[in-house]
Structure 1
Amino acid sequence: MNHLLCGLAANPALPAELVDRLVALADDEVDHHLTGRDDLSHAQTLRLAGRSELNGVPLAYRGRLTAADVDPTAQPRVALALLDEGTGDPAWARLLVADPVVDHRERLAACPGLPADVVETLVADQDIGVVVELARWAAPDVAARLARHPHAEVRRAVAANASAPPDVLAALVGGEGLPPARNCLVCDRDAPPFMHGPDCPRSDCELRPGASCDGSHESTALDTLWAALENPATPAHAVADLADHPSAALRRALAARPGLPPRTYARLAEDPTPGVRAELAENPALDRALMLMSAADSSPDVRRALAHNPRVPLDVLTRVATGTRIGGTLLPRIAAAAPAEVEELAKSPHEVVRMLLARRRDLPAAIGARLADDSDAKVAASVAAHPGLGAERLRTMVDRHGVQVIARVAANPDATPELLEHVSRHSPPARRALREIARHPRATAPALLACLADERAKPLAAAHPALPPQVVTALLTDPDPQVAEAAAANPALPPSAMRRLAAELLP
């Protein structure tokens, strides 16, 4: 791969005649970058698409191709991409359903709006993978039929189908009203009893480690329960009694379900596996009593999960936050706090609570300013990227807290060019801040030049359009291919340098 040509192919300022020359190059890596361009002519698009389905498929998904541009016999994957997008010719489905390539029929089975006769042909396909793919996306009536399919893997796919009727999903969980499955992927390969070990010597084996069948297709049956549990269309009453199931993974999936009876949640709250209790703690369906129970849990993972529950009361959240490491994300309950609650949180005597609030980016100006002036560096750092703080306050934060806030200040969308230059001169250099400067749309040439001294910020700075053209040109010969490619993709690269580079590299 020529990284410089790839950079040119992605350069939005590349002259039209050079785009033509790159399109004519017929190099897979360069083509990959060309397909992402927004200025391709129709002729260039057709040439790229006609050369390879690796080009045609992304162009189809980007809306750059129409049904009139594609021959489904020559480029079935491109035709399938258009069918998947709903813009292909429906007649193609009748052609592709007879395609001898199984993967093509599988992709067709996942497409929406297929003609009824094509669906019937897919239902009867001799390759089970095609029927499985159909079952995963089928309309309710077809899904109901496939729930009775003799192959357990097809039933597992129906259990994951959000369009399957609720009563069908309930039947897949309980087994009532369905004939027993006759086979599964495991007993298709080996006579039961058989368990597929992690050290399987067969290079063509696609069974997952631990897949097993003793005649009851037990691993596929467990996967079916799991799929149904994670399917929001499955009725809660159908899965409510799985709280004592021997599989901890299954109980964990159950713990995330809404709408279960209180007795089920109470049983899961006493589960011996912390992962199950953690999944439960994050479930908005919990009542206050169970949230208090989770807040007192001995596992920090459980308490941390409770903090991410969007319905946790603020007083409970405060209790958890002051005794548990929460992480750096904005908590849902904090994000949804009402104005009066925001005011109370901002006045909290606990700096960790103020820090959690400071992660919001929609705070009233007065609250944002108060948190920016907070004496605690962690609070100030959390709010430092908040828009609307003003250059003077941001500069004061840097002077007061230094490296503890400097990277977040550099990420502030309102940081002025002068402030970014000031941050870039910090001694010792703040490496995270340099990376934020290199990404910042207001970064100036002096600030970006400082970023070139840091190996992780350098590729970002090399792509920044404010970098001086002569510097961008010089970076084309940088020993780091990532830097050189970024420079070649930089719209600040002079057209003369682009033409010279093309003359050197293109045949």
Structure 2
Amino acid sequence: MTRAVDAAQVREAAAREVTGAGSWDMVAFYSSALDGVAANPALPTPLLLRLIAFDGGGEGPPFQALHRPGLPEPAVAALLTHPILYTRVTFARSGQVEPEQRARLADDPSPEVRATVAEGPDRIHDQRAKVRPLSDAVCGRLLEDPEPSVRTALLRSRHLAPSFLASLVRHPDPAARCAALRVWDELTADERGTLLADPDPEVRRSAALCACPRDARLTAALLRDPAALPVALRRGLLDRADAERFLAEGIHLAGLAGNPSLPADLVDRLAVDPDDDVRIAVSLRPELTEARRAAIDFTVSPFDRGDVDWVTAGIAEQGVLHRAATSAHPLLRRAAARSPHLSPELLRLLAEDTDAVVHTHLAIHHPDTPQEVLMSVYARLGGTFSAWMATGHPRFPREGLAARYADHPNAIYRQLAVRDPAAGPDLIERLSHDPDVRTRQAAASDPRLPLPRLVEALALPELASSAGANPALPPGEMAGVMDEAGVPA
């Protein structure tokens, strides 16, 4: 049976899912009016070029000017030849920049810039967005770069096209051949055989680990290799003698408990192991009935996102998703909730789930998440994630928010009133004086804010950045902010 966990920790668990960290940023972010202007979508090209030319005391222009979608060609040209190294590095790292534009820095004189181009963006604003990879030709040039740091950065990039990775099977660099293993399932039988017979022992080991789920001989050899043992024990095609030996020795039992080829009677023995990690690994096995799962005593952590191999492998398969989404096991439902391919029926089922992390996963990963789920996640989590969801999720509600929430006692709801297209200038101005700083910032960035109050907000430290980013800010005021910040005309 599943034991209860501290519900107060669910908020922290969701923070780990969204940020990879252990805490929420609950303090409003203060920045300058210049930073806001740099992010302003209505910034005219001449002022953008003026800002890009700013040396910022040797640190370069504000990074917001470099992380803008749809940069005009004159701005791109200025950034490609910018004299400050950090500026070119920042531009190369931007997830808002098209790969064709970043690729133009592949021949930059600085190895740091070239390595940044090779590795690609490290963060993107929209959790659901995908970064388009560099072309295979550009990646090929970067892989031949004379600087080892550039080649290393390319091979660890998360944004390489499968076609490029597959082309590395016979590359002279063993590290490149190892990278080809990331698309093992897309390689031909001949290409797999080449990697299994590779002259480099690390490539051979890694290839064997890819092949061992269907090969008992390879698995037996890997179990004699200490470096490969943990993965082989978890994934490989085991014979009974090896499985019994490792169970008797008590080595890597949590991995063994999840091995798909483990005999049923050994699964039963591990289901009552004293170690909770072992029991929970057994409880996640795909062949178990719901009654069998419920008979296992395990504790679900609020920090566990639901990383279940067989669900991840079948993230687009309706049969797999149905088994996971309809399970009583919280981690299986969490795993299913991370799929953007849920059928309408499964989506409705998980939307009614009582597990808060299931709802958080739906809000992040599924574009059709019901509005009531989005609202519940928004109110529960607050902070940066909720602000992103309210502006970026295609189904987040907008109409009627002003009437419902403008006078709500909870500030997290008052912020939503600004999202309502029917909110008038008077309400936006009133909210710009709200006791809650995030509500004031939301109002200060809204183009319906009356101009006198918008100009006034530019001078207030907690509102300056939001006001600077307001697309209704006149170009003359934007230029005035640059003048005051010492940006040369």
Q: TM-score, normalised by structure 2?
A: 0.56
Of 273, 283, 288, the residue aligned with 1:313 is 288
Of 325, 328, 333, the residue aligned with 2:300 is 325
CA contact (8 A) 2:321 2:336 kept: no
**More RCO (CA 8 Å, sep 6+):** 2
Q: 1:25: Cα distance to partner?
A: 0.9
**Cα distance change of structure 1 residues 54 and 299 upon mapping to structure 2, 3 Å threshold:** same
**Equivalent residue of 2:235, what SS?**
coil
Matched residue, 1:18? 47
CA–CA distance in structure 1, aligned partners of residues 151 and 171 of structure 2: 19
Matched residue, 1:498? 478
**Cα distance change of structure 1 residues 83 and 264 upon mapping to structure 2, 3 Å threshold:** same
Matched residue, 1:217? none
Matched residue, 1:165? 195
The answer to whether residue 150 in structure 2 is matched with residue 107 in structure 1 is: yes
Q: 1:485: Cα distance to partner?
A: 3.4
CA contact (8 A) 2:49 2:75 kept: yes
Q: 1:465: Cα distance to partner?
A: 4.6
CA contact (8 A) 2:411 2:439 kept: no
- What residue identity is the alignment partner of 2:100? G
CA–CA distance in structure 1, aligned partners of residues 273 and 417 of structure 2: 44
Q: 1:19: Cα distance to partner?
A: 0.4
CA contact (8 A) 2:234 2:256 kept: yes
Of 37, 52, 62, the residue aligned with 2:84 is 52
CA–CA distance in structure 2, aligned partners of residues 460 and 287 of structure 1: 60
CA–CA distance in structure 2, aligned partners of residues 444 and 321 of structure 1: 53
**Cα distance change of structure 1 residues 237 and 459 upon mapping to structure 2, 3 Å threshold:** farther
> Equivalences for 1:1-400 in 2 at 5 Å?
3-27=32-56, 28-30=59-61, 32-50=63-81, 51-57=83-89, 59=91, 62-64=99-101, 74-75=109-110, 85=134, 86-87=136-137, 97=146, 104-108=147-151, 140=170, 142-143=172-173, 160=178, 162=180, 165-168=195-198, 172=201, 228=206, 232=210, 237-238=217-218, 240-241=220-221, 243=223, 251-269=229-247, 272=250, 276-284=252-260, 286=262, 288-306=264-282, 311-315=286-290, 318-319=293-294, 323-325=298-300, 327=302, 329=305, 338=318, 342=322, 359=337
**Cα distance change of structure 1 residues 438 and 295 upon mapping to structure 2, 3 Å threshold:** farther
**Cα distance change of structure 1 residues 325 and 91 upon mapping to structure 2, 3 Å threshold:** closer
CA contact (8 A) 1:322 1:353 kept: no
Q: Which stretches in structure 2 are left out of the alignment for 5+ residues? A: 1-29, 94-98, 120-133, 156-166, 182-193
CA contact (8 A) 1:354 1:371 kept: no
CA contact (8 A) 1:439 1:464 kept: no
**Cα distance change of structure 1 residues 82 and 338 upon mapping to structure 2, 3 Å threshold:** closer
**Cα distance change of structure 1 residues 355 and 289 upon mapping to structure 2, 3 Å threshold:** same
CA contact (8 A) 1:384 1:405 kept: no
- What residue identity is the alignment partner of 2:78? R
**Equivalent residue of 1:63, what SS?**
helix
**Equivalent residue of 2:101, what SS?**
coil
- What residue identity is the alignment partner of 2:469? A
Matched residue, 1:218? none
Provide, for residues 392-447 of structure 1, a one-character-per-residue CA deviation record: whole Å limited to 9, x for no partner: x789x98xxx98799999889253432576367554x275x678x59979796869
Q: Which stretches in structure 1 are left out of the alignment for 5+ residues? A: 98-103, 113-136, 147-156, 174-223
CA contact (8 A) 2:196 2:207 kept: no
Q: 1:315: Cα distance to partner?
A: 1.7
- What residue identity is the alignment partner of 1:63? E
CA contact (8 A) 2:367 2:395 kept: yes
Q: TM-score, normalised by structure 1?
A: 0.54
**Cα distance change of structure 1 residues 354 and 257 upon mapping to structure 2, 3 Å threshold:** closer
CA contact (8 A) 1:161 1:231 kept: no
**Cα distance change of structure 1 residues 33 and 380 upon mapping to structure 2, 3 Å threshold:** closer
Matched residue, 1:100? none
Using the aligned pairs only, state the percent identity: 21
**Cα distance change of structure 1 residues 91 and 474 upon mapping to structure 2, 3 Å threshold:** same
**Equivalent residue of 2:53, what SS?**
helix
Matched residue, 1:183? none
**Cα distance change of structure 1 residues 390 and 159 upon mapping to structure 2, 3 Å threshold:** closer
> Equivalences for 1:378-457 in 2 at 5 Å?
413-419=395-401, 422=404, 426-427=408-409, 429=410, 437=416, 449=431, 453-454=435-436, 457=438
Matched residue, 2:15? none
- What residue identity is the alignment partner of 2:276? P
**Cα distance change of structure 1 residues 314 and 496 upon mapping to structure 2, 3 Å threshold:** farther
- What residue identity is the alignment partner of 2:233? A
CA–CA distance in structure 1, aligned partners of residues 399 and 141 of structure 2: 57
Q: 1:492: Cα distance to partner?
A: 4.8
CA contact (8 A) 1:236 1:258 kept: yes
Q: 1:17: Cα distance to partner?
A: 1.9
CA–CA distance in structure 1, aligned partners of residues 178 and 80 of structure 2: 34
Q: 1:26: Cα distance to partner?
A: 2.4
CA contact (8 A) 2:431 2:440 kept: no
Aligned length: 392
Matched residue, 2:13? none
Matched residue, 2:442? 461
**Cα distance change of structure 1 residues 367 and 255 upon mapping to structure 2, 3 Å threshold:** closer
CA–CA distance in structure 1, aligned partners of residues 406 and 268 of structure 2: 47
CA contact (8 A) 2:49 2:74 kept: no
Q: 1:302: Cα distance to partner?
A: 3.0
Matched residue, 1:119? none
**Cα distance change of structure 1 residues 25 and 229 upon mapping to structure 2, 3 Å threshold:** same
